[in-house]
Chains A and B, each alone.
Chain A
Amino acid sequence: MRIICPVKRVPDTAAAKVLRPEDHTLDRDAGEAVLNANDEWAIEEAMRVKERDGAEVVALCVGPQQAQTTVRKALSYGLDAAIQVTDPALHGSDAAAVARVLAGALAAEDFDLVLMGNQSSDARTMLVPAMLAEFLDLPALTYAKRLDIDGRTLTVHRESSGGHVVVRADMPAVVSVVEAINEPRYPSFKGIMAAKRKPLDTRDLAAVGVGADEVGLAHSWTRVVDVSPRPTRQAGETVTDDGSGTVGAVALADFLSARKFI
């Protein structure tokens, strides 16, 4: 079995995100960058399959040159190899464009399963897994909180707003996972050292069969046209009770009623 884990370099989850004023894209040089946490769940799930059934697990990253540290981090969990697609034309690509590039890279690969996080902690669109499946014309089993593999059949348990859903598909397929699926391990020291020596295949857009006119800020289907900072929080209203409780209670009731809470 061959499993591909798309991974993304994102700003440190705890850090404030900075948008570049000229094009409203994320300033990826501001602050620390980390491996997207949701991708760690996918990697953990892939490693469990590898340890249980045997599999080759390959990381796939679309991102700038600096994302190589993210790729090495992914490899430190015990993955076998990595592919990085990097190209100046990628800057500003939206979810659909990134999915197109991932699909382009995957088109040349043999694989049985694509395992990925359901979202990235910076953009949070949650669109890429389904879009990728669409571009690849493969089943999409999204929001998996449990994944079972029986022969070539995948069974995914997912939460939806309507309840608990069990979906099945045959491999190859795209599966996106949520936090509940597992508790990711920490990498091992030997894994970290080995990651520096593992094969990393770097490709540009042409090598994955995607044109520069299909990606990037200028060719993305969506664009951020304006941003404004969140307004600073206003001081609250202070109600002073006269000691009887009545004044305070009436004021609170009026406050809630005016906002249609009661």
Chain B
Amino acid sequence: MTPLTTDQRDLLDLVRSYAGGRLAPRAAEDERAGVFPRDLLAELGSMDLMGLPFPEELGGSGQPYGVYLRVVEELARAFLSVGLSLSVHTLATWGVLTHAPAPLRDRVAHRMTAGEWLGAYSLSEPASGSDAASLSTRAVRDGDAYVVNGTKAWVTHAGEADFYLLLCRTDEHRTRGVSALYVPADTPGLSFAPPERKMGLRSSPTRQVRYDDARVPAAHLLGREGEGLGLALRALDSGRLGIAACAVGLAQCALEHAVAHARGREQFGRPIGDFQGVGFMLADMATRIAAARALYLEAAARRDAGDEHRSMAAMAKLFATDTAMAVTVDAVQVLGGYGYVTDYPVERLMREAKALQIVEGTNQIQRLVVSRGLLGNGSAVAGA
């Protein structure tokens, strides 16, 4: 890892101070009530945190991906939904800004990087998840527009976002028939199913998005027709690092609660952390978290250097989210009965960790990406 500059250290200090002061006190209640903290995302925007890895000429801060990810980790450590929102916003924004025709890009970039517009990414469908290339939402060219029909599923920010990065079918070819469109949220023909009722991450809205004869200008095509699946998967290479950073933040939060409890809770006349059974559990949690953090930073460094990073991004997502699951389960165990009740945050962290093993490619798909990278059969395109 390149050492942090003074500006970057100041950035992380700012984020830690903000996350502790503004996010942490909100997390439990917003999760309980299922309130999407859009106001907090607006604050992130005003602090210039919604466009960190994008070039300055597009309104971003030109920061290395590793620095952006550490910011995501700090936010997720305080309030996972907020870290996840930044990650999803970055995923969608990256797809648009790196593939949009220049006039479109220049018109929308600053609003996106300033966080005035919130982004959403729609690849999955009710019947198309891990097998992404099986998607069936169709875009038919009609004059200077595409007419879109179909249903996208599991869309984070659905109903709240200002724009959608939509993957849809413009041709019958399984992989080379998929295209990417930039869809403003106010496009007529878009509608939203009721929010999914989830085990956790309730403050992060997840809904289906229906397209009924939605007309999207042909100028909103990202890249060329048929290049959508490659774009979607490259976007996920970066997006998965955001999920890894979220997972490390979540696990770090769980560890801190477990350590505090192990210090303060006395049984048999001494703090329970003094018992090796608990102390070693904490040591293993901390070790896995440190390894997960190192892995996402290494993948980010490769990305920043322009090196191939698909496999390592998949490893980081796999390892970090499995770590978050294991660490949060152990944190509940360290807190005992207190860990199982909603008065303490660790049961919520455990429910939230589960989502991270599923989103942006299940951890089984991550293993597929890594194994195909090793065996050299295909470029790890899921379902290709």
Contact = CB atoms under 8 A, between A and B. Distances in A.
B48 A188 contact: yes
B277 to A, nearest CB: 34
Interface stretch (A139-147, A161-169, A189-197, A217-225): A189-197
A99 to B, nearest CB: 31
Contact of A189 (B11, B21, B43): B11
A188 B10 contact: no
B9 to A, nearest CB: 10
B121 to A, nearest CB: 24
A192 B14 contact: yes
A188 B47 contact: yes
Interface string B17-37: 110011000000000000000
B14 A187 contact: yes
B48 A186 contact: no
Nearest to B61: A189
Contact of A192 (B11, B21, B22): B11
B46 A185 contact: yes
B7 A186 contact: no
Interface centre among A186, A187, A192 (most CB of B within 10 A): A186
Contacts of A192: 7, 10-11, 14
Contacts of A193: 7
Nearest to B22: A186
Question: Which applies to chain B's interface (DSSP): helix, strand, loop or mixed?
Answer: helix
Contact of B48 (A185, A190, A196): A190
Residue from the set A186, A189, A191, A196 with the largest chain B CB neighbour count within 10 Å: A189
B49 A189 contact: yes
Contacts of A185: 43, 46
Contacts of B312: none
Contacts, number: 32
B136 to A, nearest CB: 42
Interface residues of B, number: 16
Nearest to A195: B10
B43 A186 contact: yes
A191 B14 CA distance: 11
A42 B261 CA distance: 39
Contacts of B17: 186
A186 B15 CA distance: 9
Nearest to B6: A196
A193 B21 CA distance: 22
Contacts of A196: 6-7
A191 B48 CA distance: 9
Contacts of B47: 186-189
A186 B11 CA distance: 11
B90 to A, nearest CB: 15
B80 interface: no
Interface in A172-194: 185-193
Interface in A195-228: 196
B52 A189 contact: yes
A186 B75 CA distance: 15
Contacts of B18: 186
A190 B6 CA distance: 13
A192 to B, nearest CB: 5
A188 B11 CA distance: 9
Interface of B: 6-7, 10-11, 14, 17-18, 21-22, 43, 46-49, 52, 61
28 contacts: A186-B14, A186-B17, A186-B18, A186-B21, A186-B22, A186-B43, A186-B47, A187-B14, A188-B46, A188-B47, A188-B48, A189-B7, A189-B11, A189-B14, A189-B47, A189-B48, A189-B49, A189-B52, A189-B61, A190-B48, A190-B61, A191-B48, A192-B7, A192-B10, A192-B11, A193-B7, A196-B6, A196-B7
Given A186-B17, A188-B47, A189-B61, 15 more contacts: A185-B46, A186-B18, A186-B21, A186-B22, A187-B14, A187-B47, A188-B48, A189-B11, A189-B14, A189-B47, A189-B48, A189-B52, A190-B48, A192-B10, A196-B7
